[in-house]
Every structure is written in structure tokens, then in C-alpha cells.
A and B are shown apart, each in its own frame.
Chain A
Amino acid sequence: MGTATGIIRALNSGIKHLAVKRFTLRYPEEKLKFVGDGYQFDPSTGVGIAGLKGRHLLFHDKCTGCQLCSIACEGVAEAIAMVKVPEEHKHNKKAIMPQIDYGKCVFCGLCVDACPFYALYMTNDYELSSFSKEGLIYTPAQLQVKPNVAQDSEIIITSRGASHG
């Protein structure tokens, strides 16, 4: 193959892409859809349930304040601190619950694996930016709130190429 033919072939393969669909996701308007409601862990079988490892969700009625999530985080990010909560639960005599610093969290999900009471999940919420470092620290009350996320964009493959739709 001559030099000219090679260059023309290279240019041609680029020109063909004028007809190919745009693959880019227009982010703030469109958001990717994820499988499930976030990463969870079933302590009875010892196997996780697939999902995005995003912001945590804490169930106050299940948390016993056993600190296993905090111990699991010790060698990883040291993002979990156990703090006093005002409410009283029969199963949580010490009245302590995890508080997570998302400035430190690496989203590995080992705290979810460590929880034997199914009290800590991860959710599809990944937009955690804040103007201050303190704003990244989520208290047990904030972790209790279920995130409201609208994510519906999926990769669609057609004869004209792949696109987000």
C-alpha cells in the first residue's frame, strides 16, 4: 500500500464518522442509569448485591451501634466515626451511630460488607460536592434520608453506532 493510499484511507475512516451518532453523555441534563438501588450486602449468604457504590443509607431502626463498620474502615480511609444520637432504641443502648466523612471515603464498600444487621447500604447518589469540608461530613440523620435521583440514560447500540439515550 502506497503512502498516499494509506493517508486517504485514514482520512476516509475519519470522514465516515460524520454519520456516526454522538456517544457523549450530556451530563447535568442526562444521567446514567445504574443497576439496582446501590451496593448492598446480604449477611446471611455473605455475598453482595450488585449496584453503584455511592453515598450510604443508614437504617436507624436496625443499627445497633456495634462499630463494625468503623473498624472495617480503620485501615482503609478512617472516614467513619461513631457519634451520639439523641434518639433511644432498645437495640442501641449506647446510642451511637456512624457518621461518614465523604472527604475521606474511598467508596470501597467494605463497611457495608462488615454490617451484620443489614443496616448500612450504598445508594446511587454520587453528587456530593460541597462548598466546605464540613459539608462533606454526613451525620446519622443525613445518612437516613433516601436520595432522590433521576437517572435514566442507557447505552443504546444501533447500526449508526452507540449513543446514550
Chain B
Amino acid sequence: MTTELPSDIKPTSSKILLEKPSSDWLPPGLALQKVDERIMTLNVGPQHPGSGHMRLIVQIDGDYIVACDPDPGYVHRGEEKMAEYRNYITNIPHLERPVIHDSCNILYPYVLGVEELLGIEVPERAKYVRVIAAELNRCIYIMYWLAIYGIFLGHSTMFMWPTGDRELLIDLMEKMTGARVTHSHFIPGGVRNDLPSNFEDVCLRQVNYFEKRIKEYAAVFYDNPILISRTQNTGVLSRQDAIRLGVTGSVLRASGIDFDVRKKEPYDVYDELDIQSIVMKEGDAYARSKIPWLDMLDSCNIIRQALQKMPKSGSVRVKLKPNPKGKGFDTVYKRVESGRGSLGCYIVSDGKPEPYRLKLSVPSFRNLIALPYLLKGEKLGNMPSVYWSLNYWPVEADR
């Protein structure tokens, strides 16, 4: 299968991705290539702490990267196939496994889709509880991402602080759902349990303190001249390329495109809340690393608004029949804004308790596509900062 590529941006990746696999096809990295004395091939990963559960095949000329070929798939679990053998309720615990620290947001499109298939209307209070849980989870995800970004750049303070402050929100999620990660909290028809008593006050107090803490990161990390010199003007993704490569989330917004699913296609009660979608024009690694941090400040605002507007009492869950099933053949596609970008879920139902087909469209995989284009001509030392600024989670990309 030949992929149509924009004419003016040339791929730096090896030919394997673009050419039709022939009979003597070999997996990436194993194919024999013409020896060039100047070019050296480096395998970064899959067991390297600088790449996650994947391999980056990097070709370098001296200190400069000539080509980069990301090779994901080491942690493929077959989530989509597994979903075809489980009913709509027992799908919940395993579908959140790809991103255990953003588990509410990966369940969100699935739950919204199943609700449309079953024709359920969710109670108002449940919608607000879901928004609060999703925003808290977004912050938990970004803090984890930021900690790893810090340690990738050798900034160990930025590893310690977010890991510690993340505990404030994990504690809230634990009170709310009963689990620190993998909450299994969202369910078609609402949420599993109501908020504990006194949750609103505790949440407000801890979110306010959390916001105060993350504002301190500016002096130590984002205004730090060392970080700026390492990330500014490295891996620049222009506005046109961002659209053509189909990146999403913070990577898209760092290139100057105002696209946030929460704002453009509001789901649940996001249309009643005031959401700023933060946009920066630079498109470099610095902008891509700063946008998630600004997103967290915005998330704190959304949580406060949701706590204020939430109905103080009421039902949080619609009682489902045992083995809920859709009405005949039906398809549904829903997408939400996760911590990494727009996350879609496509469900095909054939009227049985199990989905006929379930497809996750994950932001991590879409953002990874930009990596070969961004790394061409960069120094090898800049690879970690560009790679992790793509807001990428290997396990989610592999599903």
C-alpha cells in the first residue's frame, strides 16, 4: 500500500514504511542497507529508558540525525480484539489498561458511545462527576508526563516535584473512586458510585494548593534559561505540516491551531463550562512542553467551575438491565479530549451483548507520525526533548 504524502515535505524515515512489502521483506532494522561510511545506525530501545516500550532506529552522521524510524508495537495487547469477546460492562477494566494513569479519559469515548447505542440519558450530577474525574485524571497524566520530560532532560528536580504533587490528585481520585490508578469509575449510564461526603471541600482545598504548586514550576523549569536553550527552535512543526500530518492535542495547539474537542464538539457538560484552549504559535519543543502545563492550570479552573455548578444531590447512575445490548446493527463514533489529544472510539454493534467491532483512535499514534519529520537535521542530544514533547505514551499507541 503506497501512502499519499504531501509533496513538499519529504519523509526522512526509511523506505520500509512507504514501499509495498515484497516477499523478501524484513522487519524494520533487520533489512540490509547499503553501507555508507559516514552514517551510523543506532537502536534506541526497546529496553532503553529514553524511548519507552518501543525502538527508535536513528541514523546519525556525526552528531546530526539523518533519519529516524520509530518502530512501535512491542507492547501490543490486542485490546480491540479482546473487546469483541466481552460484554459492554466487562470491557471496562481492560480498556483502561493502555493508559492506566489517564484511565478516565480513555474510557470516556467508549462509555459515551455505549450510552448512545443503548439509548440511555445520563443524570445531570453524573455528568459533572465525570467532568471532574476526567479533569483530575488529565492533570495526573500530565504530571507524570512532565516528570519524565524533566528526567529526560537531566532535570531531576522536575522529576521529583511533579511525582510528589501528583499525590494530591491521586488522593482525591482514591477518595472518589476507590483506586489510585485504573479507577474503572465510568460506566454506561453514569459513574459507579456517588462522591463521598465532604468531597467538594477537600477537592477544592487540594486543587487550590495544587495550582499554587504548579505555578512554582515556572521559575525552576519553564523560565529556566537552560531548558529554553535546549528546547527553543528545536523540532519545529509548522502550521501546515501539523494539519497535513494529522497530529492532535497539545502538539497541534503548539503549532498555532485552535482545536480542542472539549470546545469544538462539547460532550457531557463541557458546553456549560468556560474552557480556554491554549494556543502557541512557535511549534517548537518548548511550546509543546509548555502547553500541557498551561492545560493543567486551565483544568484547575474547570474543576472549580464544575464543583460550583454541580447539583448537590441526585442520582449518579442509571440502572442497567443485565447484559445490556444495542438495538440491531448500529455504529457509533465518539471522541473526547484526553491528556494527549483527541481520543476516539468507534463501536459497531450487531445487537448482541458484545460489540461486533471496537476501534480506538489514539492520539499517541497520531502524534508519533510527526517524529521522523521533526528529528531530521537535529542533534542527537535533542532527540529526547523532541521525542517526549510529542506527548506520546507507547503503550497507548500499541493498544
Contacts and interface: CB of A to CB of B under 8 A. Distances in A.
Contact of A50 (B93, B193, B315, B319): B193
Interface centre among A72, A108, A157 (most CB of B within 10 A): A108
Given A9-B219, A12-B219, A35-B175, A75 B317 contact: no
B193 A108 contact: no
Interface in A1-24: 1, 3, 6-7, 9-10, 12-14, 23-24
Interface centre among A12, A72, A109 (most CB of B within 10 A): A109
A9 B192 CA distance: 46
A34 B87 contact: no
B121 interface: no
B173 to A, nearest CB: 11
Contact of B194 (A23, A32, A49, A162): A49
Interface centre among B85, B90, B178, B192 (most CB of A within 10 A): B178
Nearest to A48: B193
Given A7-B226, A72-B90, A75-B90, A51 B178 contact: yes
Contacts of A9: 219, 223
A50 B203 CA distance: 15
What is the size category of the interface that chain A forms with chain B?
A: 35 or more
A155 B225 contact: no
Nearest to B228: A6
What is the size category of the interface that chain B forms with chain A?
A: 35 or more
A122 interface: yes
A108 B93 contact: yes
A52 interface: yes
Contacts of A7: 224-226
Interface string A41-56: 1000111111111000
A102 interface: no
Contacts of B87: 75
Interface in B272-302: none
A76 B90 contact: yes
A145 interface: no
Interface of B: 85-87, 89-94, 157, 164-165, 167-168, 171, 174-179, 182, 184, 192-196, 199, 205-206, 209, 216, 219-221, 223-226, 228, 315-320
Interface of A: 1, 3, 6-7, 9-10, 12-14, 23-24, 32, 34-36, 38-39, 41, 45-53, 72, 74-77, 106-110, 113, 122, 155, 157, 162
Q: Which 6 A-B pairs have the closest CB atoms?
A: A48-B193, A75-B90, A46-B319, A75-B86, A6-B225, A53-B178
Given A7-B224, A72-B90, A108-B184, 19 more contacts: A1-B225, A10-B219, A10-B221, A10-B224, A13-B219, A23-B164, A41-B193, A48-B194, A49-B193, A50-B199, A52-B178, A53-B177, A75-B85, A77-B93, A107-B182, A109-B184, A113-B192, A162-B168, A162-B206
